[in-house]
Structure 1
Amino acid sequence: MTHIRRFTLRESFEPFALPLTEAQLHALKTSQLVKVVSAGSEAVLQSNGRVGAVRVGDLQIEVWPKQKVKLSHLIFMLGYATDPGFRSDVVEAEEYDELWPLLAESLARQTEQALLAGVLQGYETKEESSLVVRGRIRVVDQLRQHPGHIWPIEISYDEYMADIPENRIVRTALRRMRAVPRLNPALASRLAHLDNRLDGVSVLRPGLRLPSWRPSRMNARYVSALRLAELVLRNMSAQVGDDGVEIASFVVEMWRVFEDFVTAALREAIAAHGRRAESQREWLFDTDRTDNRARIAMSIDLLEYDGQRPVMVYDAKYKAASNTGRYANADLYQMLAYCTTVGLERAVLVYAQGGDPVDRRVMNSAVTIREWPLDLSASPDEMLRSMWRAVAGASQPLARVSASRNETGFTHA
């Protein structure tokens, strides 16, 4: 196997120059993982606020979060943000410190488990023109397409088959993973074997919406493989460029992953307490105007409701504290504006940082803003428990919250 030139960077890395071919330059620019500026025979790579990996032939550029987040935990956060049913053990190849073998191994393991009892089959509704009656006649389509004629007949019927949404999603993810250049031969062989087991199943076209499916008793053994396959299909691309160079990329905006994960975890914790939450709720900042000018609208990350009454404001910021332990003042001003306009005295601001929470009582105001650090180097279950504690103790003094750190009663399915 050809040696891979691997460059591993952290967010906000210092710009550096690197000789690149035209194909590599184009692939990196297209992926938007980094900013690329041509400089004579070399290119200067700059931070672009994204994390992930791009492999172009024998070159691999990786950018990972500032905090030491395990790859498997990052994939968990990404999956959980989209689907809170995403389990931490879906990505179970923690022995890998590189993205492609981690994803390939996890997808292979989950698919092997899914297919232990054979390829799942189900009923799919088919619509076609036929010379014989089968299933149901589509009367409206018959009159529209063949007015005054008996044949052919527009029919619909249910067929028991393997070409169903669950298998299409899994097979398409296997195909995409197989397209990663210079993948470990043993892993590539396992992926090819699994792909062959799904022979006859349609491969989804790139760019189209993934088909819908629902967890059920029938597809329960597929659920973990499906959730990982969907994550691969939503965030990863792999293809051969016009010049024949193989390209694979997996690129996400870390701030969005963090904020989406926190919002999803807070929603689940709020629901566990018997309340409801609304995301991105629009709230007007100012009162009615008489000069016909538009009022100022704010979009609040998360509002917790007790019945119809809002009781708590939450926001998430992918920022770390400064050397003095303080966060950006603008975030606190924003939370004060939220509390004032909604009419609340408490708010929780979640940051990507280790350490202990801090309450900030606003001068000459009844408003208290709690800075709640979320340590991204912690395990997935520990991160979820932290969000449970943030909700459970939002209206309590910090001393009481700290005393009950391990009494969450929270379990993650």
Structure 2
Amino acid sequence: MHSLPELLTLAYRTLAPPPSSGVATVETTTPSEWLLVQLAREVHELLGRGLRNGYVERRERLPFVRGRTRPVLNPAQLPFLDCEYADFIVDTPENRLLRGVLELLAPAVRNRAVRRLYDDALSFLLNVEPVLPSLAQFDRISLTRLNRHYLPSLRLARLALEGAGVVDSAGSSTAPSYFVLMWQIWENAVAAALRDAQILDVLEKPRYGSAFVHEQGQPNVSVTLEPDLVLGRRLSPRMVIDLKWAPVLLPNRHGGLRLRNSHLYQMATYVTALDCDGLLLYPLMDDAVNATYVFNGHRVTVRTVDLGQTGLTDLRNAAADIAAAL
């Protein structure tokens, strides 16, 4: 792979990785700091546009009436009143999450220049209540047209939170390690490349529950199909795409190579149920493959994409080929 940050930029529609500035050595920079730099830069871009204020429910004791008041049960607390009110402030759930993730990751930043980026970003979030971030909090955030510009920062922050926290201290020095869900990044990147190729109808993870109909017996459990991508209308698709982050070829018992049968069987189910052509798309890991078969009257193509090219040229070319074939 030429550049994982470049793939992330396409997959999550974030800013491009920053240009090099100065010289870094193994002693001053860890392998995981590219993502920390990208997150800090995305947050700085967000700060340039301005943090979003929102109405936040607050409750505190005040010497005057504000909003709704609760009965004072302890006379010793007078003249302070128990008030509940909504305040239009910067202390919103999305800003709390960004501060929580930045504070969680900041101790792992060893490079001084990167650490200054984090300290600078956190200085703008001092009026935001610190929270211990969790994936459930990301799920509870509702994105509207008012806060949709937070999406790239929140996606990178969630990615950082999912992979942070693993440390290996078996050697002479302690180095933070990092894990990312490559299959998820691969799926998002391909969907983004297809949209860049002017394919308007790109459905991600659509669910089809009518292909399997329960006839008899117990339990009566519904069976749904959920392909990675469907191009075209949901009820009249033109192509179904299944994305695999794995080698496309496997050795057979005679020392040769074969395609992954389980992936082909899965695609055969999709093209039959959806009555359209299919594509199995893999990143190039071993041998390049670009082969088309006919199954039950439908074309099934197996193709690899070389991610080792600057600008993800092969991926964008593959997206253009798909657009031309529709």
Do both share a fold (TM > 0.5)? Answer: yes
Structure 2 counterparts to residues 5-404 of structure 1, below 5 A: 68-76=1-9, 80=11, 83=12, 86-87=13-14, 89=16, 91-92=17-18, 99-115=31-47, 120=51, 122-128=53-59, 130=61, 132-134=64-66, 136-137=67-68, 152=81, 154-160=83-89, 162-180=90-108, 183-207=110-134, 209-210=137-138, 212=141, 214=143, 225-237=153-165, 248-262=176-190, 266=194, 268=195, 272-275=198-201, 277=203, 279-283=205-209, 289-290=215-216, 297=223, 299-301=225-227, 302-306=229-233, 308-322=235-249, 326-342=258-274, 344-353=275-284, 355=288, 357-362=290-295, 365-379=296-310, 382=313, 385-386=316-317, 388-389=319-320, 391-395=322-326
SS in 1 for 2:241: strand
- 1:165 and 1:213 in contact (8 A); partners too: no
Distance verdict in 2 for CA 1:194–1:300, change over 3 Å: closer
- 1:71 and 1:98 in contact (8 A); partners too: no
- Find the aligned partners of 2:232 and 2:120 in 1 and give their Cα distance: 50
SS in 2 for 1:251: coil
Size of the aligned set, in residue pairs, is 300
Shift of 1:315: 1.0
Distance verdict in 2 for CA 1:349–1:153, change over 3 Å: same
| Counterpart for residue 18 of structure 1 | none
- Find the aligned partners of 1:111 and 1:288 in 2 and give their Cα distance: 50
Q: What residue identity is the alignment partner of 1:231?
A: L
Distance verdict in 2 for CA 1:74–1:264, change over 3 Å: closer
- Find the aligned partners of 2:213 and 2:143 in 1 and give their Cα distance: 44
Distance verdict in 2 for CA 1:368–1:194, change over 3 Å: closer
Q: Quick check: 367-376 or 322-331, which moved more?
A: 322-331
Q: What residue identity is the alignment partner of 1:392?
A: A
Shift of 1:349: 1.3
- Find the aligned partners of 2:14 and 2:208 in 1 and give their Cα distance: 31
Shift of 1:392: 1.6
SS in 2 for 1:300: coil
SS in 2 for 1:170: helix
| Counterpart for residue 28 of structure 1 | none
Shift of 1:369: 0.3
* CA distances 1:379-401 after superposition (whole Å, capped 9, x unpaired): 45636634633542445xxxxxx
| Counterpart for residue 15 of structure 1 | none
Shift of 1:368: 1.5
TM-score for both structures, normalised by structure 1: 0.57
- 1:133 and 1:155 in contact (8 A); partners too: no
- Find the aligned partners of 1:263 and 1:247 in 2 and give their Cα distance: 34
Q: What residue identity is the alignment partner of 1:164?
A: T
* CA distances 1:15-63 after superposition (whole Å, capped 9, x unpaired): xxxxxxxxxxxxxxxxxxxxxxxxxxxxxxxxxxxxxxxxxxxxxxxxx
Q: What residue identity is the alignment partner of 2:300?
A: I
Shift of 1:203: 2.2
- Find the aligned partners of 1:195 and 1:286 in 2 and give their Cα distance: 52
- Find the aligned partners of 1:347 and 1:209 in 2 and give their Cα distance: 37
The percent of aligned pairs where both chains have the same amino acid is 21
- Find the aligned partners of 1:274 and 1:280 in 2 and give their Cα distance: 15
- Find the aligned partners of 1:288 and 1:217 in 2 and give their Cα distance: 44
Distance verdict in 2 for CA 1:383–1:167, change over 3 Å: farther
| Counterpart for residue 76 of structure 2 | none
Cα-Cα RMSD: 4.3
- 1:312 and 1:347 in contact (8 A); partners too: yes
* CA distances 1:65-113 after superposition (whole Å, capped 9, x unpaired): xxx3423135336xx2xx5xx2351x33578895333123333434444
Distance verdict in 2 for CA 1:163–1:189, change over 3 Å: same
Q: What residue identity is the alignment partner of 2:131?
A: L
